Amino acid sequence: MRLLVSPMNVEEARAALFGGADILDVKNPKEGSLGANFPWAIREVANLASGRVPISATIGDLDYKPGTSSLAALGAAVSGADYIKAGLLGIKTMQQAEEMLNAIVKAVKDLDLDKKVVAAAYSDYQRVNSISPLILPEIAKRTGADVVMVDTAIKDGRSTFDFLHQIDLRNFIDSAHSNELEVAIAGTLGFQHLELLKRLQPDIIGVRGIVCGGDRRSSIKAELVKKLKMALV
Which residues, other chains included, contact 230 with Cβ-Cβ below 8 Å and sequence gap of 6+? none
Q: In one letter, which amino acid is 140?
A: A
CA atoms within 13 A on the CB side of 27: 30
Instruction: Tell me, letter by letter, the H, E, C secondary structure of 103-156.
Output: HHHHHHHHHCCCCEEEEEEECCHHHHCCCCHHHHHHHHHHHCCCEEEEECCCCC
CB–CB of 208/220 below 8 Å?
yes
Backbone angles phi, psi at 124, to 5 degrees: -95, 35
First CA to last CA distance, the chain: 9
Longest pairwise C-alpha distance within the chain: 44
Q: Is 85 a catalytic residue?
A: yes
Catalytic one of 30, 65, 85, 221: 85
Catalytic residues: 27, 85
